[in-house]
Amino acid sequence: MKRIYLLTFILCLFGQGLAQTLIDGIYYNLDADNLTAAVTSTPDGVDEYSGSISIPESVTYEGKEYSVTAIGQQAFSLCSGLTSLTIPNSVTSIEQGAFSLCSGLTSLTIPNSVTSIEQWAFYGCSGLTSLTIPNSVTSIGDNAFNSLNSATL
């Protein structure tokens, strides 16, 4: 009987529709139930993101369109080759450690759609000398901007 409950639990987890998928050079966790996507790190955690990246407002996978609503946990963590990033107006949250230790990141604009920035989001971004936080942000986690030289609210 316990095996049936365990199997049911596992099937429910997979039934939520989350899948890590590479689309146009960026990895996303896709939520098929809500048709939303969160930018995520590479599957093996290796620093593959570099240069200038522009995240689209939506992505299409297997004929379905997903709205990009989050920069996921540690999505760009340790990406020392990442120099600039454009975040679309569809994104509402920047999750824990999203840009931690991105020492090469020098340019980033947070759009007015973002309402939360979680802890350690920009920890160790030594190349990011200035960052403007829009008034739409209502929640900022602990140490979100640790080691930033300047931030404007």
Percent of the chain with pLDDT over 70: 82
Which pLDDT does position 131 carry in this prediction?
A: 83
CA dist 63 and 47 (Å) reads 29
CATH homologous superfamily of 2-152 equals Ribonuclease Inhibitor (3.80.10.10)
CA distances from 110 to 75, 82, 85, 92, 147 (A): 16, 16, 10, 10, 18
CA dist 124 and 128 (Å) reads 9
Answer whether residue 47 shows pLDDT above 90.
no
Cβ neighbours of residue 84 closer than 8 Å, sequence gap 6 or more: 51, 52, 53, 105, 106, 107, 108
pLDDT in tens, 5-46: 333 333 333 334 455 899 999 999 999 999 999 999 888 766
12: part of which helix (H) or strand (E)?
helix 2-14
Which pLDDT does position 151 carry in this prediction?
A: 59
How do the domains of the chain map onto residue ranges?
2-152
> Beta strand pairing status for 36-39 and 26-31?
antiparallel
Which pLDDT does position 56 carry in this prediction?
A: 98
Which pLDDT does position 150 carry in this prediction?
A: 62
Higher-pLDDT residue of 128 and 73 is 73
Nearest to 34 by CA among 78, 90, 83: 90
The type of residue at 16 is Q
The long-range contacts involving 31-38, CB below 8 angstroms and separated by at least 24 positions, are 31/66, 32/64, 35/64, 35/65, 35/66, 35/67, 36/66, 36/67, 36/68, 36/69, 36/70, 37/66, 37/67, 37/68, 37/69, 38/68, 38/69, 38/70, 38/71, 38/72, 38/75, 38/95
The two tokens of residue 62 are 């297997």
Tell me the pLDDT of the chain averaged across its residues: 84
pLDDT band at 149 (very low <50, low <70, confident <90, very high): low
Which pLDDT does position 147 carry in this prediction?
A: 73
Which pLDDT does position 48 carry in this prediction?
A: 77
